[in-house]
Amino acid sequence: MSDLLDTIRDLAKPTDSKILMVVLDGVGGLPLDTNGDTELAAAKTPNLDALAAQSQLGQIELVGAGITPGSGPGHLSLFGYDPLKYVVGRGALSAVGIGVKLGAGDVAVRGNFATLGEGRVVQDRRAGRPSDEKNAEIVGKLKAAIPDVDGTPVEIYTESEHRFVVVFRANGGSPLGANLSDVDPQATGVPPMTAQAHDDASQKTADLVNAFVQRAETALKDETQVNGVLFRGYSDVPHFPSFDDAYQLRAACIASYPMYKGLASLVGMDVLTVQGEEDALDGKVQALKDNWSKYDFFYFHVKKTDSTGEDGDFKAKVKKIELFDALLPQLLALNPDVIAIVGDHSTPSKLATHSWHPVPLLIRSDYGRRDLAQRYTEDEALKGSLGLRKGTDLMPLLMANALKLNKYGA
397 within 8 A of 8, measured Cβ to Cβ: no
pTM, two decimals, is: 0.78
Question: How far is residue 331 CA from its own chain's centroid?
Answer: 21
Q: Where are the alpha helices (DSSP H) in 349-405?
A: 378-383, 394-401
Neighbours of 66 (CB within 10 A): 8
Rounded to whole angstroms, the Cα distance separating 309 from 290 reads 31
Domains delineated in the chain: 3-86+240-401 (3.40.720.10), 94-235 (3.30.70)
Residue 1 has a pLDDT of 46
Give 43's contacts (C-beta < 8 A, 6+ positions apart). Answer: 318, 319, 321, 322, 325
Helix (H, G, I), strand (E, B) or coil at 188: coil
Backbone angles phi, psi at 122, to 5 degrees: -75, 115
Residue 334 has a pLDDT of 98
Rounded to whole angstroms, the Cα distance separating 137 from 154 reads 17
Is pLDDT at 103 greater than 90 in this prediction? no
- Selected residue with higher pLDDT from 238 and 128: 128
Residues 215-251: pLDDT tens digits? 999 999 999 899 999 998 898 877 788 999 999 999 9
The alpha carbons of the chain give a radius of gyration, in whole angstroms, of: 21
DSSP structure string for 139-181: HHHHHHH-SEETTEEEEEEEEETTEEEEEEPPBTTBPPP--B-
Residues 280-310: pLDDT tens digits? 789 999 999 999 999 999 999 999 999 999 9
Residues 24-77: pLDDT tens digits? 999 999 999 988 999 999 999 999 999 999 999 999 999 999 999 988 899 999
Residue 117 has a pLDDT of 93
